[in-house]
Amino acid sequence: MALEVTERKAPARLRLWLLLGPAFVAAIAYVDPGNVAANLTAGARYGYLLVWVLVAANAIAVFVQYQSAKLGIVTGRSLPELLGARLGTAGRRAYWAQAELVAAATDIAEVIGGAIALNLLFGLPLPVGALVVGAAAIGILAVQSRRGQRPFEAVILALLGVIAVGFLAGLVVSPVDWRAAAGGLVPRFDGAPTVLLAASMLGATVMPHAIYLHSALARDRHGATGDTGRVRTLLRATRLDVVLALVLAGAVNIAMLLLAASALPGVAGTDTIEGAHAAIGAALGPVVAAVFAIGLLASGLASASVGSYAGATIMSGLLHMRVPLLVRRVVTLIPAVVILALGVDPTWALVLSQVLLSLGIPFAMIPLLRLTGSRQVMGAQADRVWVRWVGAGVAGLVIVLNLALVVLTVVSP
């Protein structure tokens, strides 16, 4: 309530800035450990060739995440809640099962990424590192449970800052060929391997758990409102929020590719996070490698917390039951620890998690765009015809690329 009063008394421009935050939490999905190896591999193997893929991926992310936030603001309900209200009992349970599988895959990827970072920094065994990441994520989630949305956003934003520094620092000591980088903005490929890599980078960028979550983040932060003027203000702030957050996330991803293109051309082993870390250390020194690992650790911690938030949102909306965030964090930590304790290759586990996430894309994106285009649901804020056509094109592109990623991953030797 105090925050709302502050927002209303502040000057219009300041009031807009006070409304920012939810998109920065959702943006963590775009700089999670699952993105690191693909971006570094693209730069090390093909230089600046695939810069355009990350730019396109970021543009798609801006569109989709704004649609999700808009749904939460206008309706006062999350995407899972709206779906749960429209499905019968059997449908809700089936829909929850696939969404829960996606959320669990996300959790596994984030915990494993953080465990790899702790192993690189301190030599901790991977299962022990997974437990440390889980405990730290529980601490972050406790901030949300006890202090509310704004302090939680502040913690995640601080971690996002660490991630940005960790992945951007290498560019300071490794000059970029900016003319060649600009040439990478022209869409083109160089044989079948670059098509597969582009599908991995673009097709797996828009994550289903981020789509489910952003509607809840916007709803939890701003609350339901029937005030048409306030809705317009919130939507204007949300556009700024989404653009700023995802430009930052996009810059981090592009920086990883530029770093690899400038410092690691032709270096083998960058298709694993451990190999990329070793290559960075050999090329740029141990300090840059340590900063990179710290960024990876921050990515794992923030992503693990946000992933648990997403899972709780999905369960609450589709099963009509609430599970405390801390309980969910403990339960979903178990699969990651078991996988690492069994000696499963962590990079392979990350790849598999990305495939599972790809399968969940249509189940999140298609209902989202149908709801935001419905005048019955959105009223005067329903998408215009041209926005619906753009949405259909974006959804088709992302779904085709994700299906291609799954097929190519399964059939590749």
- Average pLDDT for consecutive 10-residue bins of the chain (413 residues)? 50 64 88 79 89 91 95 94 92 90 80 91 92 88 79 89 89 88 91 76 77 92 74 91 94 91 80 82 89 92 86 87 73 81 78 73 92 94 95 88 72 62
Distance CA 127, CA 119 (A): 10
- The H or E element spanning position 266 is none
Distance CA 336, CA 346 (A): 10
> 348-402: per-residue pLDDT in tens?
777 677 677 777 888 999 999 999 999 999 999 999 999 999 999 988 888 887 7
Q: Is 191 helix (H, G, I), strand (E, B) or coil?
A: coil
pLDDT recorded at residue 69: 95
pLDDT recorded at residue 412: 61
Dihedral sign (CA 53, 59, 62, 67)? negative
206 conformational bin, left if phi > 0, alpha if psi -120 to 50, beta if neither: beta
Distance CA 345, CA 352 (A): 11
Distance CA 371, CA 66 (A): 13
pLDDT recorded at residue 379: 92
The radius of gyration of the chain's CA atoms, rounded to the nearest angstrom, is: 20
Q: Under a CB-based contact definition with an 8 Å cutoff, are residues 112 and 338 in contact? A: no
Q: Which two tokens stand for residue 364?
A: 């999140």
pLDDT recorded at residue 1: 46
Q: Under a CB-based contact definition with an 8 Å cutoff, are residues 349 and 113 in contact? A: no
Biggest alpha carbon–alpha carbon distance for the chain: 62
Neighbours of 351 (CB within 10 A): 20
Q: Which two tokens stand for residue 164?
A: 């940005």
Start-to-end CA distance of the chain, whole Å, equals 57
pLDDT recorded at residue 224: 66
pLDDT recorded at residue 5: 47
Q: Which long-range contacts (CB under 8 A, 24 or more apart) does 147-152 make?
A: 149/21, 149/217, 149/220, 149/221, 150/3, 150/21, 150/221, 152/25
Among 351, 354, 346, 353, which Cα is nearest to 125's?
346
pLDDT recorded at residue 213: 92
pLDDT recorded at residue 413: 56
Does this model's pTM top 0.85? yes
